Structure 1
Amino acid sequence: MLNVSNVSRVFGKKAAVDRISFTVDKPGFVGIIGRSGAGKSTFLRMMNRLTDATSGQIFVDGTDILALKGAAKRAWQGQCAMIFQQFNLVPRMDVASNVMHGVLNRRSTLATMFNLWSEADITRALSILDRLGIAEQAPKRAEALSGGQQQRVAIARALMQDPKIILADEPIASLDPMNAQIVMDALHRIHTEDGRMVIANLHTLDTARRYCDRVIGMRDGRIVFDGTPDLLTTSAARDIYGADASFSEAATSTSIDTLPRDQNYATTLLGA
């Protein structure tokens, strides 16, 4: 399904991503971990075609998405939704309109200029917001919501695209533990219920262990670990983070793991 082959991105003389290769043969929940500057975000941006690769190929269902141009490139970006750390919402726009912006590239310029939405688009946006427990926030400005709620709006916007793959770039880095759990639970449910591939850059070992069925560790632009969460030992952490094992564990742990995953999920969502 996904085949990454010798992909690099060089800025000046520095390789931010250095000849990485891996294959994912079924829709999984893949976590990418590593220090800041390891190349995680650059890789996701290349997958979404927000940043061009210097070399290499990324095949999705047999198509090299790095070779796409024009309309084909835009169509791929519609199939590969991106969720950002800082939400990337329009703060003064209402929540429902922010969600519907997920299908902007499928609309006419005139409809976009006058903010005209079909009944089907509105109904679908509200249904997605309801699924994520925030339908009541639909008429509010995005800036009036908490960080955790804004990130769920960003997830809803991604789902509005009906993508094959969801890329999440540090989706919980700016959230408190409770909201971090809610966001990760939402992404995990989307993966399991919809059968969508999720690739998430994560800041903590424990979150990767808890939610991912495969973890890729990056250091200095290269892959230094690729395996199942149970193989994330302190020795592996040392290889990924380049520090002594106790520091790696402490620096990359979070109290999200004191919270039970998916317990009373609907109540937790509505109360956050």
Structure 2
Amino acid sequence: MLAFDSLTKRFGANVAVKNVSFSIDRPMMVGIIGASGAGKSTLLRIINRLTDATSGKLEFEGRDVLGLKGTAKREWQSQCAMIFQQFNLVPRMDVVSNVLHGTLNRRSTLATMFNLYPTADIHTAIAILDRLGIAEHAPKRAEALSGGQQQRVAIARALMQDPRIILADEPIASLDPMNAQIVMDALRRIHEEDGRTVIANLHTLDTARRYCDRVIGMRMGKVVFDGTPEQLTTGVARDIYGADADFSESATSTSIDTIETSAARAIHAAEAIA
């Protein structure tokens, strides 16, 4: 489906993505992990054509993605929807209108100016919100929702595009553990039920292991690991993050049980000192 061949992106003297080569041959859920600055976000932006590669190739079903221009580029961007860490919603606009923004690429300029949507699209938007468990919030302003709810609205907007690929850039980085689990469960269901490829930049190893079929590890712009969640051992994680023997996975865990256990230990330690 999606093939990367020596993909490279330079920003002046800095190489953000360096000779990345791998392929995704069927719909799956892929997690990309690595430290800040590893090149994860830049890679997703290249896929969606939000930024251009310096060199290399990117093909989707044999089609040259990097060579697309004009209408063809916009069509491609509608086929690989982006979900961002900070949601990128219009805060003062109602939820259903935010979702309907997923249709902007196929609407006329006049319809966009006057905020006119076909009845069928409105029904589809509400059905998607219902699927994500937030249909009752459709008439509310987006800013009135919690962070987890807003991220589900962003997912609904992406689904409104009916994409082949969903790109999620740190989709749970700003969420609490409960909402992080709800959002990741939703992305996993979308992959399984719809057969869509989901590529998510993740900052926690337990999330990558639990939800992904495949994990890509990046360090300093390079792919340094490509394997199954079972192959992502603590030793491998140390290599990906360039960490020493003191590296602890629990410090970055989004698991509710792990966080509660860590909090309990901290309380016991404080009580012992007191």
Range class of TM-score, shorter chain = over 0.9
Deviations 1:77-113 (A, max 9, x none): 0000000000000000000000000010100111110
**Alignment partner of 1:139: what SS?**
coil
Query: What is the Cα deviation at residue 248 of structure 1?
Result: 4.6
Q: Could you tell me whether the CA contact under 8 Å between 2:164 and 2:197 is conserved in 1?
A: yes
Deviations 1:160-196 (A, max 9, x none): 0000000000000000000000000000000000000
Give the Cα–Cα distance (whole angstroms) in 1 for the partners of residues 29 and 212 of structure 2. 5
Give the Cα–Cα distance (whole angstroms) in 2 for the partners of residues 248 and 219 of structure 1. 18
Q: How does 1:222-233 map to 2 (within 5 A)?
A: 222-233=222-233
**Alignment partner of 1:57: what SS?**
strand
Query: What is the Cα deviation at residue 135 of structure 1?
Result: 0.3
Give the Cα–Cα distance (whole angstroms) in 2 for the partners of residues 5 and 252 of structure 1. 32
Query: What is the Cα deviation at residue 256 of structure 1?
Result: 4.1
Q: Could you tell me whether the CA contact under 8 Å between 2:180 and 2:254 is conserved in 1?
A: no
Query: What is the Cα deviation at residue 217 of structure 1?
Result: 0.3
Alignment-mate amino acid for residue 222 of structure 2: R
Q: How does 1:87-166 map to 2 (within 5 A)?
A: 87-166=87-166
Alignment-mate amino acid for residue 254 of structure 2: T
Q: Name the % identity.
A: 77
Alignment-mate amino acid for residue 22 of structure 2: F
Deviations 1:243-263 (A, max 9, x none): 12442523432234669xxxx
Deviations 1:227-246 (A, max 9, x none): 00000112101110001244
Give the Cα–Cα distance (whole angstroms) in 1 for the partners of residues 248 and 238 of structure 2. 7
Give the Cα–Cα distance (whole angstroms) in 2 for the partners of residues 143 and 7 of structure 1. 38
TM-score by length of 1: 0.93
**Alignment partner of 1:104: what SS?**
helix
What is the aligned partner in structure 2 of residue 268 from structure 1?
none
Q: Is there any run of 5+ residues in structure 2 with no aligned partner, and where?
A: 260-274
Would you say how many aligned residue pairs link Structure 1 and Structure 2? 259
Give the Cα–Cα distance (whole angstroms) in 2 for the partners of residues 190 and 73 of structure 1. 24
**Alignment partner of 2:153: what SS?**
helix
Alignment-mate amino acid for residue 39 of structure 2: G
Q: Could you tell me whether the CA contact under 8 Å between 1:237 and 1:245 is conserved in 2?
A: no
What is the aligned partner in structure 2 of residue 265 from structure 1?
none
Q: Is there any run of 5+ residues in structure 1 with no aligned partner, and where?
A: 260-272
What is the aligned partner in structure 1 of residue 180 from structure 2?
180
Alignment-mate amino acid for residue 43 of structure 1: L
Q: What value does the CA root-mean-square deviation take over the aligned residues?
A: 1.2
Alignment-mate amino acid for residue 4 of structure 2: V
Alignment-mate amino acid for residue 145 of structure 1: L
Alignment-mate amino acid for residue 36 of structure 1: S
Alignment-mate amino acid for residue 243 of structure 2: A
**Alignment partner of 1:66: what SS?**
coil
Change (3 A) 1:257 1:9: farther
Q: Could you tell me whether the CA contact under 8 Å between 1:234 and 1:245 is conserved in 2?
A: no
**Alignment partner of 1:181: what SS?**
helix
1:194 aligns with 2:194: yes
Alignment-mate amino acid for residue 12 of structure 1: G
Q: Could you tell me whether the CA contact under 8 Å between 2:206 and 2:255 is conserved in 1?
A: no
Q: Could you tell me whether the CA contact under 8 Å between 1:207 and 1:257 is conserved in 2?
A: no
What is the aligned partner in structure 1 of residue 16 from structure 2?
16
Change (3 A) 1:257 1:230: farther
Alignment-mate amino acid for residue 235 of structure 2: S
What is the aligned partner in structure 1 of residue 70 from structure 2?
70
TM-score by length of 2: 0.93
Deviations 1:8-66 (A, max 9, x none): 11001110000100011100000000000000000000000001110111111110111
Q: Could you tell me whether the CA contact under 8 Å between 2:250 and 2:258 is conserved in 1?
A: no
Give the Cα–Cα distance (whole angstroms) in 1 for the partners of residues 10 and 245 of structure 2. 30
Give the Cα–Cα distance (whole angstroms) in 2 for the partners of residues 55 and 186 of structure 1. 35
Deviations 1:118-155 (A, max 9, x none): 10110000000000000000000000000000000000
1:235 aligns with 2:199: no
